[in-house]
Amino acid sequence: MKNASKDWSLIENGIDLENIEKNGNRFLIGNGYIGLRGVLEEYGKDQLVACTLNGLYDKSGDQWREPVNAPNAFNLEIRVNGKQLETTPGEILEHTQSLDLSRAIHSRRTTYRLASSETLTLEIDRFLSADNIHLGVMSCRIQTTTECELEVRTKIASDIWDINGPHLRDFTPNGQGTCQCLQSLTIEKGIPVSVASDIAASSDWEIETESSQSAHVLRLTSEADKSYSIYKYISIYSGEDTPDPTSRAMNTASQARDLGYEQIRSAHEAVWSERWSRSDVVIKGDEESQFALRYSIYHLLIAAPTKNGLSIPARGLSGQVYKGAIFWDTEIFMLPFFNHTQPELARRLVDYRFHTLDGARRKAADYGYRGAFYAWESQETGDDACTYFNVTDVITGRPMRTYFRDKQIHISADVAIAIWRHYEQSGEIEILTEGGAEVILECARFFYSYSNYKPDRERYELHDVVGPDEYHERVNNNAFTNAMARYTAQIAIKVSELLQRQQPAEWSRLAQKLSLGNELQSFKELAEKLYQPEPEPETLIIEQFDGYHRLEDNRPESLKERLIKPNEYWGGGNGIATTTKVLKQADVVLMLHLFSSEYPDEVKLANWEYYEPRTEHGSSLSPCVYALLAAELGKTEWAYRYFKRTATIDLTGKSKQYVGDLYIGGTHPAANGGAWMAAILGFAGLRVGAQFVELRPNLPAQWESLQFRFCRKGQWFHVQISPDQIEVISEAGNDDEVPFILDGEHMSCAPGKTIRRQKEETISA
Ligand code: IFM
């Protein structure tokens, strides 16, 4: 296996059929447009083969709308002397599957038992080009220990996994020379999807094309111990990419064949090398954390789109779970990583919300509100894909009404605040003038129209909402939601002031387009008078929502004993958590992280300690939040425990697989982003503010040092933290000096300079 190093490669030896589903996620490759599950080439739909396309959705009959899985051109079968090789433990002498994180290349090496003591060894490397998102390549080498008649058949297989499919119809094969193409149409909108493949192989092979099957069949008589190579070039386009996807896909595959494997791989590797140079985090002294964090970063990078109008679905590109939809996961849990290390990719994610603003407007209007109410589960148009009955009651078999879609209004604040934070970090006013300001104002408008003014209390309140803790639906004054809505109103004012000052023409165009009139006054009022649940004077606890304290106090472990069936949903009308204080996921604690500067440490500590034992972590979004706040509070052992839980989620595959009868397996990019946040915003204590940058580290005892880079307003910094020193190198740039606070000490750092803070003293070089 080439370049398989333990720091950078996930390796599994031996074949265990029980691991097929898990490995589909663990060995996933992707390029932001296509995700290919970590299945073996000979697998079919029963082994959950999926080549998921980002941003192309389809609805089949009255089933849930979900992303389209393209036909699988990475398929390959081998026959030896007329007999097909079987991937079963009995037929296999050795098997290794690996994923090289540094280059996003999936490899397998399998030695099959042939008759008597003879063997055949198959090695395949495959990748989805990061340089051309419509291209994938597979290189295959076969060697036998004896002379045999070999037949390799590789087709564009329509035998693929769908959860709510099928999504493709009218399959039309097409061939020209050695290039094969399978064109099809999506069921709902008739959008063409074309998958093409071309082949190159050494002259020993006799190549036949079977156009009716979109297949290449290669035959030869092998010599003992001689290696034979085949390269397959695969291209995918849909009618959303180009008016003529078949020609584009065929041209791309054929041109790739002409360029050759090495050249395509080098271009792909160059992109990955650049990505890692920005995003890698080096942890010394703790190999397990190092690998888990790199693995988390890998998953963020393979899911991030480089194409406009796309974002990162909650299960990345690992399949169709959660309808391939975009949730708040992207804005709150993934965007910080991209803002700090991949500003261009961050911009794509932000742009997605500009692109779907009209959908958010439609949703608000549908519910009788003004402004933009973003979809809880957003697909290509921004209309809500979240169903009213999202879960089935496993006891009665009846659909359960859930209110995620209707009441999880914090989504509009998640979007608005994420845009503002992206603006603050990048310093690019275009983010506001090219759509960001409009989104923020529309979100503030939505919250104003949603709020209730209580004249006797002289305050606005937000009633009938669902906060991040989805086990308690339709509550009033969820502290998190109120804080987010209030901040949305505040930034709407800030945006208006900024644009009036710096871009007056743009501001008047926008104010006119939105018919703002004197609504800014309403936003000001909301910002000032929206009720914010305060820490209680005695305990410092912030009540999660009105009446939370009246609920039965319980703990997740003992509550679990009330389950009648293991997969029961804990929330909804009759869920075991509904009447108790047990919460699904970080709620108040997330608010304290997001608005950290507004609360003293005593309040953060009291709430962390209060809510932590009551949190079930029934969402993969939860542990990282507890890690973040624990790290900030110097509860480093707790922070480490939660960091490890977050960072290893996709390695161990130990995550919830079902809610009710709903399959929710797949990768967890929000947790992956959470792992990065826990390491950098938590353990390194990095805060990139509008006026200064702060580092207040609390490294886990195991970590000898932590190194990473981050970008602020186009200027890159390199940070190295060890228990006795913080060092910041400002890389060459044309920015002014940046004020830093290193462990409480104020300093500033000019481009090309280094600043250090040692335990006892501060040195400038
Ligand atoms: O966005 C989350 C939500 O907070 C909890 N349920 C799963 C969603 C997708 O990850």
Does residue 1 carry a pLDDT above 50?
no
Which atom of ligand 1 lies nearest, measured to the CA of 670? 10
pLDDT, position 5: 67
Does residue 288 carry a pLDDT above 50?
yes
Query: Does the C-beta of 33 come closer than 6 Å to ligand 1?
Result: no
**475's tokens:** 């509550």
Q: What is the mean pLDDT of residues 427-446?
A: 98
Q: What is the mean pLDDT of residues 619-647?
A: 98
pLDDT band at 765, cuts 50/70/90?
Answer: low
Q: Separation of 377 CA from ligand 1 center, angstroms? A: 9
Does residue 3 carry a pLDDT above 60?
no
Query: Does the C-beta of 670 come closer than 6 Å to ligand 1?
Result: yes
- With pLDDT > 70 as the criterion, what percentage of the chain qualifies? 98
Query: Does the C-beta of 360 come closer than 6 Å to ligand 1?
Result: no
Peptide bond between residue 566 and the one before it cis (omega within 30 degrees of 0): no
Q: Separation of 476 CA from ligand 1 center, angstroms? A: 21
Peptide bond between residue 343 and the one before it cis (omega within 30 degrees of 0): no
CA distance linking residue 759 with residue 757, whole number of Å: 7
Secondary structure string (H, E, C) spanning 517-575: CCHHHHHHHHHHHECCCCCCCCCCCCCCCCCHHHCECCCHHHHHHHCCCCCCCCCCCCC
pLDDT, position 760: 61
CA distance linking residue 215 with residue 721, whole number of Å: 54
Identify each DSSP E strand in 223-375 by its residue range.
Answer: 227-238, 281-284
| Ligand 1 pocket, mutate which of 315, 473, 621, 664 (most atoms under 8 A from CB) | 621
Query: Does the C-beta of 322 come closer than 6 Å to ligand 1?
Result: yes
pLDDT, position 268: 98
pLDDT band at 733, cuts 50/70/90?
Answer: confident
**Total Cβ atoms within 10 A of residue 85:** 18
